[in-house]
Amino acid sequence: MEPEVGRLEAWGVSKRFGPVEVLDGVDLVVDPGEVLAVLGPSGCGKTTLLRVLAGLEAPDAGSVTLDGDEVKGPAPTRGLVAQHGGLFPWRRLRANVEWGPRAARRPDAAAVAEELLEATGLADFADAWPHQLSGGMRQRAAIAQVLANRPPVLLLDEPFSALDAQTRLRMHGWLRQLLMDRPVATVLVTHDVDEALLLGDRVALLSVRPSKVVEVLDVGLGAGRDHSVRQDPRYMALHRDVLGRVMGT
């Protein structure tokens, strides 16, 4: 199933904070159902870019549109998952996932949440508090919380960077599967080349600050790939190439 909605475009997006120029004319297009990994060195303004796409920051120049409509502020059409997740610690997991549908006054909020808890393997923990969950479960729950709004666009800000290496590997497989089951245009911001190549359909490389997109690469390793793809010579060549550019630029 190909969704028709969820075409996110950014044209000439620039942003500065005082004297610090963070973004310098970023151009991006994310097609419906596609995963675009945005890869760049630390401190290059990846998070700022994502916040502009989310509508939490207004760009100084340029524009962001979703399906042709200008993005003017935060809205549930773009689900943002931050580095440490956005779960509300004073709500149990179920209430956290129901938050969006309830805010939208959807009568089927409970059913939507139940379905997502099921899909994210968290149904058994619906009555747990966020602090009782492990880091991996919390990030899964944060993604479920955002997906409960059925957003056309999913924005992920280094969602697995706080996790240990093994949990991160498992989360990559899990997210790839989830996004195959329910395609949603996704921008995944990361500094991890493996994460970008495993999850992204395309990879946009950002330069150092002030950032712009220096190149967009097609990954082309197949949608059903898992971690075994890392033994693939094509993957290794791509990894070497991308790492060289990230380190070099």
Partner 1 sequence: MADPDQAGQPDPEGPTSHAPAEGPEATGTGHVALVAAIPAERSGRRRSWPRRLLGLVVPAAVLSVWWAATRFGWVSSLVLPQPGDVLTSAHDFVIGPSVRQLPGTVAFNRAFVPDLVASLHRWALGAAVGVGVALPLGMALGLSRRAEDLLDPLFQGLRSVPIFAWLPLSVIWFGIGEGSARFLVFVAVSAPVAVATADAVRQVPRAWVESARMLGTPRRALAARVYVPAALPGIVTGLRLGLTLGWMTVIVAELTGASDGVGAMMAGARETGRLDQIMVGMVVFAVVGLYADIALRAVARPFVAWSRR
Binding site for partner 1 (CB under 8 A): 54, 56, 73-76, 78-80, 82, 84, 86, 88-91, 99-100, 103-104, 124-125, 128-138, 145-146, 149, 162, 167
Question: β-strands 8-17, 61-66: how paired?
Answer: antiparallel
Least distance from partner 1 to the Cβ atom of residue 78, Å: 7
Least distance from partner 1 to the Cβ atom of residue 222, Å: 30
Give me 121's structure tokens. Answer: 């393997």
- H or E segment and range at residue 230: none
Please give the Cα distance from 64 to 58 (Å, whole number).
9
Least distance from partner 1 to the Cβ atom of residue 57, Å: 10
Q: Count CB-CB contacts under 10 A for residue 120.
A: 21
Smaller CB distance to partner 1: residue 104 or 111? 104
Smaller CB distance to partner 1: residue 124 or 215? 124
Nearest Cα residue to 205 out of 44, 24, 83, 7 = 44
Nearest Cα residue to 180 out of 149, 139, 222 = 222
Smaller CB distance to partner 1: residue 104 or 180? 104
Smaller CB distance to partner 1: residue 140 or 202? 140
Apex CA 29: angle with CA 14 and CA 101, to 5°? 95
Least distance from partner 1 to the Cβ atom of residue 19, Å: 22
Smaller CB distance to partner 1: residue 40 or 136? 136
Please give the Cα distance from 164 to 32 (Å, whole number).
31
Smaller CB distance to partner 1: residue 185 or 197? 185
Coil vs helix vs strand at 186: strand
Q: Are 219 and 229 in contact (CB under 8 A)?
A: no
Please give the Cα distance from 145 to 52 (Å, whole number).
21
